[in-house]
Amino acid sequence: MGMKSGEKFFVISDIHGCFDKLVNLVKIIEPELCNGTLVFLGDYIDRGLDSCEVVDYVLQLKKEYNAVFLKGNHEKMLLDFLVGINQFLYLENGGELTLASYYNKYRAREGEIIIPQVHLDFYQNLKLYHETEDYLFVHAGVRNGISIEEQSEEDLLWIREEFIYSSYDFGKTVVFGHTPFLYPFIGFKKIGIDTGAVYGNTLTMLILPDMEFISV
């Protein structure tokens, strides 16, 4: 069901454990948050030092504001890791730092992984996409010619060039993260807002429908 046109959205993607940048970014627009919806496009964790703290923070935001939380490929990899699937893939893609952030906070015994149930619930209940009258929010992108209901999870979480450089008309503007750019990417009916925060660049928020970008 599409939401009413004209609603305001504050969109953030690919935090990757960059807790300080996230807090500073939210502080900038916090007075406005009651008048719109926060949309997170996934990849809260991995590669950065403070993944556990990031999830604690967004869970607090969930209590205070209207918010939508999407799944990224890194949350998918963590969930797979926890059930014994592709564990090396997760660790080599920044998962070790996420596990370390939980270890440091909860003082687990050596070799033990402690992730609180509220965090597990958060990871397990993330949405694959969020659709409104004017926008389609997704982590990585969508494949041409397939309805959003029939898109595969793999494409929604992992697709890159086939989506980014396509001139296909998806019917509404697709807002995505996943693929890092030095500056926000604006293409035909698509906007990419992963600006590589964990690689030393900025964390970016897109405010819609204003088309305003804020980076810290």
pLDDT confidence of residue 84: 96
Kindly report the number of other CB atoms within 10 A of residue 98's CB atom: 29
pLDDT single digits (tens) 144-157: 999 999 999 999 99
Summarize the confidence of residues 193-212 as an average pLDDT.
Answer: 98
| Lowest mean pLDDT, pick from 22-26, 46-50, 109-113 | 109-113
DSSP codes joined into one string, 150-212 = G--HHHHHH--HHHHT-----SSEEEE-SS--SS-EEETTEEE----GGGTS--EEEEETTTE
Q: Is residue 106 part of a domain?
A: yes
Tell me: pLDDT of 107 over 80.
no
Which CATH number do you get for residue 168?
3.60.21.10
Instruction: Find out whether 156 and 139 touch, Cβ atoms under 8 Å.
Output: yes
Q: Is residue 1 part of a domain?
A: no
Q: Is residue 3 part of a domain?
A: no
Q: State how far the Cα of 162 lies from the Cα of 203, in Å rounded to an integer.
A: 24
* Longest CA–CA separation in the chain, Å: 52
Q: Is residue 150 part of a domain?
A: yes
pLDDT single digits (tens) 43-88: 999 999 999 999 999 999 999 999 999 999 999 999 999 999 999 9
How sure is the predictor about 1, in pLDDT bands with cuts at 50, 70 and 90?
very low
Tell me: pLDDT of 214 over 60.
yes
Q: Token pair for residue 212?
A: 């305003």
Tell me: pLDDT of 159 over 90.
yes
pLDDT confidence of residue 109: 60
pLDDT confidence of residue 6: 63
Q: State how far the Cα of 64 lies from the Cα of 211, in Å rounded to an integer.
A: 24
Q: Considering its fold, how many domains does the chain have in total?
A: 1
Q: Is residue 209 part of a domain?
A: yes
Instruction: Find out whether 216 and 24 touch, Cβ atoms under 8 Å.
Output: yes
pLDDT confidence of residue 66: 97
SS3 108: coil
| Lowest mean pLDDT, pick from 28-42, 100-114, 130-144, 160-174 | 100-114
Average pLDDT over the chain, rounded to whole?
94
Q: Is residue 2 part of a domain?
A: no
SS3 67: strand
Q: What is the domain extent for residue 40? A: 9-215
**Gap between the terminal Cα atoms of the chain:** 33
Angle between helices 117-124 and 51-64 (to 10 degrees): 80
| pLDDT more than 70, % of the chain | 94
How sure is the predictor about 103, in pLDDT bands with cuts at 50, 70 and 90?
confident
